[in-house]
C-alpha cells in the first residue's frame, strides 16, 4: 500500500513542478494597447544572442539591416544587442507590434517551440502545433511599444534572473519611477524573470555593432582562430607570468596584422587583373576606358573573355535567358558557379558603368548580386548571381506556356514584400540614395526559393538628399506602362517615380495582366494602361465585401484561393502608389510596413484552412 501511495504522490509532485515551469515559461508579456492604427514609431528590442546567432542570423531573425543592430558596452557588456524596428498599432488587435519572419533551420520539433526558443519571450507566438519543416518561413509579430511622448523610445526587455527595477534603471540610465510608470508596476520588488517589460529611453541604446567580428563580443566564435587558441592557452595557464601573457598576445596580434596585409595584397592583385582577349594591348585600353578608379569599394572579380565564352557554350542560343534593351542575357557555369551573363556592345559603356557603380556599392538580399565583369574592345559583360526561377513576369503572364505553375497568393505577397524591401534599401539606407527608373516585373527575379531580387540597374540614377527634393531632371527612359505622369511630362526622376512603377507591379500581381493591355476592337484596337483599368474597377468597389466589380480583374490562375480582405488592401495600396500627385504616394518604407501586415494576415488566413485546401503549405508556400 505504501508503494501505491508513494508512486502517485511522486507523480503529483512531478506534475506540480512541470506546471510551475510551464507557468513561468508562460509568464506573460503584456502588449501595450493602442487606438491609432496610423501610428508608427521607432522602437528597440533587447535580445541576448546565443552562441551560434551571428549578426547575419540576427538580421534574418528580425528583418533588419546591420546599422539597426547595436551592442551593449564597448566590449559586448552583458551580451545583449539592441535591435531597432519600426513599431505600429496593429489593426484588429489594437496592440503595438512589429512584424518579422523566422526561417526554420531545424527539421525537428514544433514550430511553437523553435520560435519560443529563438526569441526568448520577445515574440507573439503563433497558435500552432505544427511540426517544423526545414526552410519554412514563419511570419510572426514581436512585442514593441511607442512612447506616449514623455520619452523618445521604448525598448522591449525580457527580465533575467538577478534583474531588478533598480538595476535596470542604473543600467540604462533612467529613473525607477519611469520604468514603474510605463509598466504599471505597483511593487518594484514584485517583478518576474522571464516576463517582458518596457524600458523608456531618451537616446539610442548601445554602441555600433562590431561589424568586423560577425558575432557579439560576448559570443564565442563558431570555429577557433589563432587568437582563440592563444586565449585558451592563457585561460588554462592562469598562473603564467604576466610578461609571458602580454608577449603571447603581442605575437598573435602581429600574426593577425601580417595575415591581413597578405590577404589584402592577394585580393587586390586578383581584382586588378584586366580581362584579355588574346591581345596584350587590351589590358591598357580597358584600364583607361573603364576607369577602374571610379569604384569606391571592393572591386568585382575580373574574368577573361575566354572564361565567358566557354561558360556559355560559345554563346549558344540554348543558353539565352532573355533579350533586353541593352543586350542579351546568357546562362553560364563559371568556375562551378551558376551565373547570368549580360552581353553588351561596347557602345553601351554608360549603362555598363551605371550598373557597376551601383552594384559595387550596394549589397542587399533583395538586390541581385554582381559577381564580376569582363571587357574587350568590342563587347562588355556583366556577371550576376543566377536566379533559378527567372523573372516575376514569366510567372504572372501565361505561366503555363512557359512551363510554370501559378503563384499562390502567399507567394505573390512575399515576392511583393521582397521587392519593396530592395527598393526601400536603395532609396533610404544606402550612403548615397538611388532611383532605379526601370522597376517592372521582368526586372524582379526569383531565386530557387521564390525570394525576389531587383535587377537591371543600367538606368539607375543618383538622387539628392531629402532637402534637395530628391529629384534630378533627365532624359525620360524606362518602360511605358510603368512611367509616372510627372516623369513623362518633365523628366523628374524621383524615388516617388519608382513608387509609381511599383504600384503597377502590385496591380500585375493581383490581376495577372500586363502593364499595358491591347483592347480588341473591330476597327481601331488600342493599348490601355493597366492602371486606368484597375482604378476604374476600384471606383465601384468601396470595400472588400463589394468586390464583384473587380472579379474580372483578379488573376483567374489563383482560382479564388485568396483572402478577399488582404487582396483588397493590396489593391488599395497599389492605388495609393499610382496617385497622380507624387506627394500623395507613400514612400517605400510605408509600403514595406503595409505589405508586412498583409503577409501576416494572409498567413493567418492560410492557417485557418487547416490543411484542407490545395493552397495550404504548412506555413509559407514556396519556401
Query: Mind giving me the DSSP string for 415-437?
Result: HHHHHHHHHHIIIIISSS-EE-S
- The DSSP letter of residue 583 is G
3-state SS class at 168? helix
3-state SS class at 461? strand
Active-site residue identified among 68, 418, 438, 498 = 438
Q: What is the dihedral of CA 8, 11, 16, 21, to 10 degrees?
A: 180
Distance CA 157, CA 197 (A): 5
Distance CA 164, CA 375 (A): 64
**Is 438 an active-site residue?**
yes
Tracing cell 526586372 back to the chain, one arrives at: 443
Characterize 515-533 residue by residue with b for buried, 16 or more Cβ atoms within 10 angstroms of its Cβ, and e for exposed. bbbeeeeeeeeeeebbbeb
Name the phi and psi angles at 194, rounded to 5: 95, -15
Distance CA 214, CA 66 (A): 11
3-state SS class at 46? strand
Quote the cell numbers at residue 243.
Answer: 610578461
The residues near 427 (Cβ < 8 Å, ≥ 6 apart) are 433, 434, 435, 495, 498, 587, 588
Cβ–Cβ contacts within 10 Å for residue 600, how many? 20
Q: How far is CA 138 from CA 1, 65, 123, 143, 619, in A?
A: 52, 19, 12, 16, 6
**Nearest alpha carbon to residue 133 among 539, 514, 534, 617:** 617
Longest CA–CA separation in the chain, Å:
100
- The DSSP letter of residue 37 is T
* Residue 48 assigned ligand-binding role: no
- Tell me the β-bridge partners of 328: 323, 343
Q: Please state the residue numbers annotated as binding site.
A: 342
Q: Please state the residue numbers annotated as binding site for ATP.
A: 342
Catalytic positions, written as ranges: 438
Amino acid at each position: 500500500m505504501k508503494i501505491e501511495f508513494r508512486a502517485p504522490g511522486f507523480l503529483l509532485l512531478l506534475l506540480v513542478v512541470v506546471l510551475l515551469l510551464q507557468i513561468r515559461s508562460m509568464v506573460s508579456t503584456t502588449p501595450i494597447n493602442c487606438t491609432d492604427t496610423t501610428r508608427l514609431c521607432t522602437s528597440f528590442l533587447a535580445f541576448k544572442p546565443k552562441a551560434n546567432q551571428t549578426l547575419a542570423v540576427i538580421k534574418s531573425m528580425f528583418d533588419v539591416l546591420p546599422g539597426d543592430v547595436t551592442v551593449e558596452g564597448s566590449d559586448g557588456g552583458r551580451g545583449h544587442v539592441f535591435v531597432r524596428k519600426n513599431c505600429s498599432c496593429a489593426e484588429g488587435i489594437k496592440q503595438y507590434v512589429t512584424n518579422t519572419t523566422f526561417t526554420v533551420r531545424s527539421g525537428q520539433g514544433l514550430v511553437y517551440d523553435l520560435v519560443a526558443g529563438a526569441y526568448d519571450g520577445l515574440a507573439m507566438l503563433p497558435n500552432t502545433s505544427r511540426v517544423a519543416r526545414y526552410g519554412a518561413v514563419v511570419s510572426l509579430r514581436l512585442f514593441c511599444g511607442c512612447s506616449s511622448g514623455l520619452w523618445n523610445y521604448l525598448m522591449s526587455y525580457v527580465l533575467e534572473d538577478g534583474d531588478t527595477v533598480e538595476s535596470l534603471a542604473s543600467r540604462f540610465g533612467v529613473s525607477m519611477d519611469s520604468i514603474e510608470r510605463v509598466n504599471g508596476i505597483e511593487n518594484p520588488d514584485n517583478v518576474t524573470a522571464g516576463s517582458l517589460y518596457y524600458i523608456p529611453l531618451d537616446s539610442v541604446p548601445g554602441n555600433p555593432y562590431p561589424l568586423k567580428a560577425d558575432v557579439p563580443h560576448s559570443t564565442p566564435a563558431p570555429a577557433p582562430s589563432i587568437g582563440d587558441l592563444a586565449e585558451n592557452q592563457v585561460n588554462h595557464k592562469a598562473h603564467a607570468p604576466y610578461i609571458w601573457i602580454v608577449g603571447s598576445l603581442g605575437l598573435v596580434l602581429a600574426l593577425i596584422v601580417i595575415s591581413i596585409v597578405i590577404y589584402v595584397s592577394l585580393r587586390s592583385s586578383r581584382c586588378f587583373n584586366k580581362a584579355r582577349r588574346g591581345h596584350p594591348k587590351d589590358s591598357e585600353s580597358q584600364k583607361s576606358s573603364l576607369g577602374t578608379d571610379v569604384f569606391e569599394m571592393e572591386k568585382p572579380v575580373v574574368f577573361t573573355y575566354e572564361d565567358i565564352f566557354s561558360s556559355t557554350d560559345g554563346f549558344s542560343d540554348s543558353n539565352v535567358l532573355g533579350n533586353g534593351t541593352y543586350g542579351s542575357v546568357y546562362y553560364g557555369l563559371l568556375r562551378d558557379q551558376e551565373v547570368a551573363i549580360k552581353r553588351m556592345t561596347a557602345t553601351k559603356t554608360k549603362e555598363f558603368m551605371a550598373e557597376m557603380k551601383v552594384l559595387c556599392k550596394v549589397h542587399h538580399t533583395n538586390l541581385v548580386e554582381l559577381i564580376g565583369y569582363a571587357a574587350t574592345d568590342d563587347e562588355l559583360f556583366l556577371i550576376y548571381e543566377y536566379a533559378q526561377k527567372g523573372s516575376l513576369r514569366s510567372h504572372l503572364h501565361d505561366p503555363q506556356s512557359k512551363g510554370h505553375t501559378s503563384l499562390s497568393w502567399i507567394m505573390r505577397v512575399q515576392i511583393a514584400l521582397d521587392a519593396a524591401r530592395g527598393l526601400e534599401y536603395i532609396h533610404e539606407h544606402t550612403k548615397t540614395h538611388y532611383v532605379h527608373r526601370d522597376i517592372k516585373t521582368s526586372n524582379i527575379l526569383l531565386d530557387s526559393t521564390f525570394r525576389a531580387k531587383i535587377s537591371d540597374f543600367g538606368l539607375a540614377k543618383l538622387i539628392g538628399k531629402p532637402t534637395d527634393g530628391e529629384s534630378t531632371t533627365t532624359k525620360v527612359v524606362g518602360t511605358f506602362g510603368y512611367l509616372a505622369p510627372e516623369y513623362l511630362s518633365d523628366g523628374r526622376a524621383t524615388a516617388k517615380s519608382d513608387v509609381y512603377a511599383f504600384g503597377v507591379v502590385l496591380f500585375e500581381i493581383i490581376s495577372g495582366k500586363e502593364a499595358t493591355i491591347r483592347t480588341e476592337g473591330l476597327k481601331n484596337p488600342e493599348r490601355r494602361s493597366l492602371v486606368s483599368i484597375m482604378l476604374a474597377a476600384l471606383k465601384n468597389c468601396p470595400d472588400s465585401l463589394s468586390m464583384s466589380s473587380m472579379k474580372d480583374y483578379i488573376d483567374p490562375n489563383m482560382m479564388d484561393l485568396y483572402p478577399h480582405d488582404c487582396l483588397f488592401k493590396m489593391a488599395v495600396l497599389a492605388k495609393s502608389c499610382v496617385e497622380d500627385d507624387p506627394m500623395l504616394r507613400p514612400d517605400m518604407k510605408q509600403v514595406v510596413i503595409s505589405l508586412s501586415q498583409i503577409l501576416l494576415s494572409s498567413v493567418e488566413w492560410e492557417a485557418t484552412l487547416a490543411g484542407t485546401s490545395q493552397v495550404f503549405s504548412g506555413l509559407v508556400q514556396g519556401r
